Amino acid sequence: MCNEDVCSVMTTAQSIEDIDPETSLVFEYMVGEVLFTQLLQLPSSPQRMMYYASLAIELRKAEPQILATVLETLVDNVVSRVPSVDVECITRLSSWLAIYISNFGFQWDWTRWESAASEAATAPRRVFVHETLLKLLRLSYLDRLRTTLPDACLPLLPEKPPAHNFKFTVAAMDERTREVSVAMGRCLKNRGTSDQALEILQEHYAQWSDIDDGTRQTLAREMLVEHVLLLGSKTLSHMLNAIEKFTPALQRFADSAEAKLAIARTVEDFWLRHPQFFVMTIDKLIDYRIIDPITVVEMLFDEEHVGQWCKFHLWEILRNTINKVNLRVAQLQTRMAEDPGSEGIEATLAQMTQEQNDSVVATARHFVRLLSSQSGSTDDVDRAWLMGRFKEFMRTYRAQIMANIPALESLVFNEAANEDTRQVF
């Protein structure tokens, strides 16, 4: 039923008087249940999530007096069972709901979920409502959302609008650090080049005789990354331009796995209060080969993120990263089929395939490590979120999992792995 025929049936009646009250409500709920059944189907929906959002929007426009109530009821029914709903389905429903609400003046009956604000931070219902509001925040702005919420739900919104967390503010620096920061800021604002930025860092930090070369490199890298991010912090276009312009300088400081990981962590600290820009910045740094997919995997599974896997943007970053690697491999395979004699394409394909395998194995290894250790989660609810993401990973990337069975059996799903994780495998 989830195709254009539904819309044609729903729009047959020209007015509410044309609808048979004996059969209409049953039909409306049937349509809604079919929509949600397909939206939440595992391992994947027949169509993209956006399709079901667009369909629901058109259906409601066709029957505004009935469909609004029907869809609200169906969403509430799912949310009431959210502790037992698969994590991937919770994420899909949250994204769907945010798009749906944004198309109707951001109006929704939030009073039914008021009590979620008093629940634990990792409680499934609170997480669902909070993450849905964060998605709505990407489509609107904080003050607008505040006017649509009851007072009891306001704690589920951030206290301040999304913004960067620039480290080198005047109050947070000593005098010599301030000199470097001012010089870097002036250089970037005056459209300085990568070489000029590197010269400033070299000139200033070379005068710091009380630090070794390793510390000097670390400080210079952090100063450069922070200022490039600040330069691009206004919009995504600004961010793209800033990263592209200073890619040579950034790559200069990304000469090892540890350095790349330090850059990724600096990006996370800078966008601590802006998850959307954190997601997009990491994505672009991978595009410009400043960091690697394995860098992202190592960052997301470090100790700082234990207990945070209820945050949807962490999975969003991991999914985007692996999808990007898979896409590159698929594109190279297509080019290889078109030009089988190209040694350059063959070498690049081999490199990207190895990167794909390394990312999949490393991700599985880290999931199993956390799930097999008491220190890998903060409590049973947090472990449920982690296990949910692990199951989603294994389902979503089953083709890549199958391609790495020997490595996974020997390195990951061995006797040291928890029985729960082996069963998922």
If you ran DSSP here, which 8-state letter would residue 273 be given? B
CB atoms within 10 A of CB 3: 11
Q: What is the tens place of the pLDDT at every residue in 230-246? A: 999 999 999 999 999 99
Q: What is the tens place of the pLDDT at every residue in 303-348? A: 999 999 999 999 999 999 999 999 999 999 999 988 887 888 999 9
Q: Using N-to-C axis directions, what is the helix angle for 49-62 and 64-80, rounded to 10°?
A: 140
**Per-residue pLDDT at 7 exceeds 90:** no
Mean pLDDT lowest among 17-26, 195-204, 355-364: 17-26
The CA-based angle 422-424-425, given to 5 degrees, is 60
Which tokens belong to 13? 């009646």
At residue 24, the pLDDT reads 52
Q: What is the tens place of the pLDDT at every residue in 25-72? A: 688 888 999 999 999 999 999 999 999 999 999 999 998 888 899 999
Please answer whether residues 323 and 286 qualify as being in contact, where contact means their C-beta atoms are separated by less than 8 angstroms.
no
Q: What is the pTM of this model?
A: 0.91
The Cα 393–Cα 91 span in angstroms is: 13
The Cα 287–Cα 280 span in angstroms is: 11
CB atoms within 10 A of CB 143: 8
Query: Average pLDDT of 156-178?
Result: 91
The DSSP code sequence of 331-353 is HHHHHHHH-TT-HHHHHHHHHHH
Q: What is the tens place of the pLDDT at every residue in 292-305? A: 999 999 999 999 99
CB atoms within 10 A of CB 206: 10
